[in-house]
Chains A and B, each alone.
Chain A
Amino acid sequence: AQSVTQLGSHVSVSEGALVLLRCNYSSSVPPYLFWYVQYPNQGLQLLLKYTTGATLVKGINGFEAEFKKSETSFHLTKPSAHMSDAAEYFCAVSATRRALTFGSGTRLQVQP
């Protein structure tokens, strides 16, 4: 079985502040992990992914995430928020070649 929990349905930060979006997963086998971003009236766009190898993964738009097996976490970070980062972010997990299971999403607001 596989599942994802995203802590915090809404996160608000000031422009220039650190962004931290939390994701914990459950998987009975080593997982593949993903972060997606969704802007209004659009589909989901891949930000970054972890499959194997280096546990710190860099993605587009300055985002990165670290796979921590001991904590079953894959939190998304960005050192300095930009207004254009305001969107909804989804964490997803896949195990044993099954279709992705998505978390419930975190809406990021960036205050000027």
Chain B
Amino acid sequence: ETGVTQTPRHLVMGMTNKKSLKCEQHLGHNAMYWYKQSAKKPLELMFVYNFKEQTENNSVPSRFSPECPNSSHLFLHLHTLQPEDSALYLCASSQDTGGEVHFGNGTRLTVT
């Protein structure tokens, strides 16, 4: 497989559930990102990891918890979410921060 792979593609969860989104990149990149895409809003950068170290956290609520065990894998752990957290969550990677970014197809999250 090539590129950036995200699983699951769709997720429906209740507000009391705990779930995780997974992202894997096969491009040999050093930087990985989580973006949130909501209807009628610009793409929001959530977290940036460079060489497994978190370098940006854009005031994301603590109910979103990222994990980057190595340069190829990125997780987003979710707990006690709110309905307004329903969105498309996009993972991306790049060789270095600030360079060309490659996106996965996203996880469509619905919080009920």
Known: A44-B90, A104-B41, A105-B42. A98 touches B98 (CB 8 A): yes
**In this complex, what residue of A is CB-closest to B90?**
A43
User: Does A43 contact B106, Cβ atoms closer than 8 Å?
Assistant: yes
Bound Cα distance A47, B98 (Å): 16
Bound Cα distance A44, B104 (Å): 8
**In this complex, what residue of A is CB-closest to B91?**
A43
User: Does B97 contact A98, Cβ atoms closer than 8 Å?
Assistant: yes
Q: Mark B1-34, 1 if CB is under 8 A from A, else 0.
A: 0001010000000000000000000000001010
Inter-chain contact total with CB atoms closer than 8 Å:
56
Total interface residues on B, CB under 8 Å, equals 24
Interface size for chain A: under 10, 10 to 19, 20 to 34, or 35 or more residues?
A: 20 to 34
Give every chain B residue within 8 A of A67 (Cβ-Cβ). none
The yes or no answer to A45 lying at the interface (CB within 8 A) is yes
Bound Cα distance A98, B4 (Å): 20
The yes or no answer to B100 lying at the interface (CB within 8 A) is yes
Distance to closest chain A CB from B6 (angstroms): 8
Find A97's partner among B4, B42, B45, B96 (CB 8 Å cutoff): B96
Give every chain A residue within 8 A of B48 (Cβ-Cβ). 99
Give every chain A residue within 8 A of B100 (Cβ-Cβ). 34, 46, 49
Distance to closest chain B CB from A2 (angstroms): 10
Interface residue ranges of B38-82 to A (CB < 8 Å): 41-43, 45, 48, 56
**In this complex, what residue of A is CB-closest to B35?**
A102
The yes or no answer to B112 lying at the interface (CB within 8 A) is no
User: Does A99 contact B98, Cβ atoms closer than 8 Å?
Assistant: yes
Interface residue ranges of A15-39 to B (CB < 8 Å): 32, 34, 36
The 3 A-B residue pairs with the shortest CB-CB distance in the complex, in nearest-first order: A43-B103, A97-B98, A102-B43
- Footprint of A on B, CB under 8 Å? 4, 6, 31, 33, 41-43, 45, 48, 56, 90, 92, 96-106, 108
- Footprint of B on A, CB under 8 Å? 32, 34, 36, 41-46, 49, 90, 92, 94-105
9 A-B pairs with C-beta separation under 8 A:
A43-B90, A44-B103, A45-B103, A92-B101, A95-B98, A98-B97, A98-B98, A99-B33, A103-B42
